[in-house]
């Protein structure tokens, strides 16, 4: 029997959550072990190259993955053309960045970056080899298969990083881990998937796809710069250690953010693309996904703010405790990041990728103003200002979502704010636990249990439809 849209969406989200959740658990375990061996300066060195890797990966992908998913008539000619184009582009970018590494090292005043660049940037051509394989799995909604590949690759790369750290490899541990991850993942995708590129390339197809993808590429580039601007600014204005602390806070926060919006975004985009011409049905699906996103996002990230002191004091050596306020600020900003990303998904499905570009231009302008105003303040003030920019950008994003999709601002606030209020009450309960318990090994689990219990009870008492759907699913009254 054919699955309904609701069943497909729930199943896709669950497999994406299992995939992302499993990866984040493995990554978190690796981060904890490795961080207790390495120091903030090691993380700062690799973080200085983060923006170049992120920009390179985005240029290689160029929005073609989203364009191929959105296009219903894509065939092997399209897939093969994109594959060869991306492979050539990634190889050229690797050589370009390698040639620029002396200037990158000079900018940061770190000669070691030249040697590190040769390893870190290897992930670019490796990631290019698996773009079409991943796109096909997403388009076919084969998230179970993708989850198995991702989890296996993360397990291998995490174990390799832990072994390297214990063997005294230092900063090279952080340089090789993402390269090993990309290599193992690519190998698994090629050995488990039947698709192979044809000896075919059409520049006309690339130009045609790029018509949709170009706005996504430009907006993605601006977003990558926005996210990684810290790695460019912090080392120039503050001691290198501050970038290491910020990076560590982000490494703990980012898995939570990625778990929510990555899972929902990956699951819903191909499904919503299939009903893009059914406006009322699409809007109804949008609203459900936003409510589900809010239901997960606010308790996880606001809860993260509250448990941060106990979390860091329990899991990390004292050298890392100064990263606590960075983590808390990133969690607060992450709430806006998740909701903005989901809204961008809606805009992409509507075919108005140019709107995303406009939002990113506004975001970069606000970011530049924030940096200029706070450059003479503390590094925490700088990060707080950039988190505030995320909040303003989210409001602008809601406006554009309403303009392009018809999902009104008031309707979206009604779908999100109730879960924010529930999370705030939960936060008060989590905070109160710290008044009577002070030992981190006992405080952290008690705060987590108290937060989960209070939030679930409040959601149940207020008649949350999302919670009821989740309960029916767990009790197997909802068929997948």
Model confidence at 474, pLDDT cuts 50, 70, 90, reads: very low
Name the residue among 350, 368, 85, 20 with its Cα closest to residue 216: 350
Domain ranges, residue 227: 5-474
**459 within 8 A of 332, measured Cβ to Cβ:** no
Count of domains for the chain? 1
Q: Give the Å distances, CA to CA, from 225 to 38, 50, 185, 432.
A: 27, 10, 26, 39
CA distance 390 to 7: 33
**Exposed, middle or buried: residue 327 (CB in 10 Å: 0-12, 13-18, 19+)?**
buried
Confidence category of residue 388, pLDDT binned at 50, 70, 90: very high
* DSSP character string of 163-212: HHHHTT-THHHHHHHHHHHHHHHHHHHHHH------S---HHHHHHHHHH
Average pLDDT over residues 137-149: 79
Residue 469 lies in a domain: yes
Dump the DSSP string for 133-157: HHHHHHHTT-HHHHHHHHHHHHHHH
C-alpha pair distances (Å), 77 with each of 80, 132, 177, 270: 5, 12, 34, 20
Residue 123 has pLDDT above 80, yes or no: yes
Mean pLDDT over 404-429 rounds to: 91
Q: What is the pLDDT of residues 75-92, one digit of tens each?
A: 888 889 989 998 999 999
pLDDT beyond 70 at 134: yes
Q: What is the pTM of this model?
A: 0.80
Cα 295 to chain centroid distance, Å, stands at: 18
pLDDT of residue 12: 61
Indicate if the pLDDT at residue 103 is higher than 80: yes
- pLDDT for 344 beyond 90: no
Distance of CA 112 to the CA centre of its chain: 28
Q: Could you tell me if residue 126 is inside a domain?
A: yes
Q: What is the arithmetic mean of pLDDT over 399-420?
A: 88
* Neighbour count for residue 461 (Cβ, 10 Å): 9
End-to-end CA distance of the chain: 11
Q: Which residues contact 99 (CB under 8 A, 6 or more apart)?
A: none
The one-character DSSP state at 319 is G
pLDDT band at 74 (very low <50, low <70, confident <90, very high): confident
Please report the DSSP string for 219-252 in residue order. Answer: HHHHHHHHHHHHHHHHHHHS-HHHHHHHHHHHHH
**Mean pLDDT lowest among 139-143, 222-226, 386-390, 442-446:** 139-143
Q: What is the pLDDT of residue 330?
A: 94
Of the candidate ranges 116-120, 292-296, 401-405, the one whose mean pLDDT is the lowest:
401-405
- All residues at 6 or more sequence positions from 376 whose CB lies less than 8 Å from its CB, including other chains: none
pLDDT at residue 239 in the model: 87
Radius of gyration of the chain (CA): 22
d(CA 411, CA 261): 20
CB 299 within 8 A of CB 338: no
pLDDT of residue 212: 61
pLDDT value at 337 more than 80: yes
Domain membership of residue 479 (yes or no) is no
Q: Is the dihedral of CA 221, 227, 232, 237 positive or negative?
A: positive
pLDDT at 446 over 60: yes
pLDDT of amino acid 114: 95
The dihedral built from the CA positions of residue 394, 395, 400 and 406, taken in this order, carries a sign that is positive
Q: Which residues contact 49 (CB under 8 A, 6 or more apart)?
A: 104, 113, 116, 117, 120, 121, 231
Rounded distance, CA 97 to CA 441, Å? 45
Tell me what pLDDT residue 236 has.
Answer: 86
Query: Which percentage of the chain shows pLDDT scores above 70?
Result: 86
pLDDT at 316 over 90: yes
DSSP state for residue 2 in the 8-state scheme: P
For residues 82 and 262, the answer to whether their CB atoms sit within 8 Å is: no
Per-residue pLDDT, averaged over 391-419, amounts to 88
* pLDDT digit string, tens, across residues 16-50: 667 677 787 888 899 999 999 999 999 999 999 98
Residue with tokens 């949709």: 212
Q: What is the pLDDT of residues 179-232, one digit of tens each?
A: 999 999 999 999 988 889 998 988 888 888 776 666 667 777 777 887 788 888
pLDDT for residue 361 is more than 60: yes
Let me know if residue 90 belongs to a domain: yes
For 271-304, the pLDDT digits (tens) are: 666 666 666 777 887 888 888 889 989 999 999 9
Phi, psi of 292 (to 5 degrees): -65, -40
What is the rounded CA–CA span in Å between residue 171 and residue 149?
27
Token pair, residue 125, equals 């051509």
Contact 213, 13 (CB under 8 A): no
Has residue 480 been placed in a domain? Answer: no
């Amino acid at each position: 029997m054919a699955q309904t849209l609701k069943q497909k969406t729930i199943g896709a989200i669950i497999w994406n959550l299992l995939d992302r959740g499993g990866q984040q658990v493995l990554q978190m375990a690796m981060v904890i072990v490795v961080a207790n061996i390495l120091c903030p300066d090691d993380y700062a060195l690799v973080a200085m190259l983060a923006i170049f890797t992120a920009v390179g990966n985005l240029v290689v992908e160029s929005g073609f993955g989203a364009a191929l998913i959105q296009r219903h008539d894509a065939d092997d000619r399209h897939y093969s053309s994109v594959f060869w184009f991306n492979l050539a582009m990634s190889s050229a970018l690797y050589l370009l960045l390698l040639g620029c590494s002396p200037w990158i090292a000079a900018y940061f005043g770190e000669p070691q970056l030249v040697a590190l660049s040769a390893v870190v940037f290897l992930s670019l051509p490796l990631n290019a080899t698996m773009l079409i394989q991943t796109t096909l799995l997403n388009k076919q909604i084969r998230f179970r298969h993708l989850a198995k590949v991702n989890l296996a690759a993360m397990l291998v790369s995490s174990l390799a990083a832990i072994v390297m750290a214990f063997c005294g490899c230092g900063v090279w541990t952080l340089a090789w881990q993402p390269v090993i991850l990309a290599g193992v993942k690519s190998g698994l995708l090629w050995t488990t998937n039947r698709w192979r590129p044809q000896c075919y390339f059409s520049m006309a197809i690339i130009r045609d796809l790029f018509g949709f993808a170009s706005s996504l590429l430009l907006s993605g580039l601006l977003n990558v710069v926005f996210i990684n601007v810290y790695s460019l600014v912090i080392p120039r204005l503050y001691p290198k250690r501050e970038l290491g602390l910020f990076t560590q806070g982000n490494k703990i926060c980012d898995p939570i953010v990625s778990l929510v919006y990555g899972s929902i975004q990956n699951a819903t985009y191909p499904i919503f693309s299939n009903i893009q011409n059914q406006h009322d049905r699409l809007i109804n699906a949008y609203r459900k996904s936003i409510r589900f996103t809010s239901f997960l996002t606010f308790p996880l990230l606001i809860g993260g703010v509250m448990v941060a002191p106990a979390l860091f004091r329990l899991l990390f050596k004292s050298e890392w405790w100064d990263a606590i306020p960075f983590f808390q600020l990133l969690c607060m900003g992450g709430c806006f990041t998740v909701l903005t990303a989901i809204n961008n998904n809606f805009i992409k499905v509507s075919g108005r990728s140019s709107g995303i570009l406009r939002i990113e231009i506004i975001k970069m302008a606000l970011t530049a103003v924030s940096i200029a105003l706070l450059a003479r303040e503390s590094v925490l003030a700088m990060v707080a200002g950039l988190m505030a920019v995320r909040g303003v950008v989210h409001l602008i994003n809601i406006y554009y979502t309403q303009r392009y999709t018809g999902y009104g601002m008031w309707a979206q606030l009604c779908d999100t704010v109730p879960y924010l209020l529930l999370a705030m009450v939960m936060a008060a309960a989590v905070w109160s636990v710290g008044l009577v318990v002070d030992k981190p090994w006992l405080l952290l689990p008690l705060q987590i249990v108290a937060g989960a219990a209070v939030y679930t009870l409040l959601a149940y008492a207020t008649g949350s439809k999302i919670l009821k759907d989740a309960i029916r699913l767990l009790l197997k009254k909802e068929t997948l």
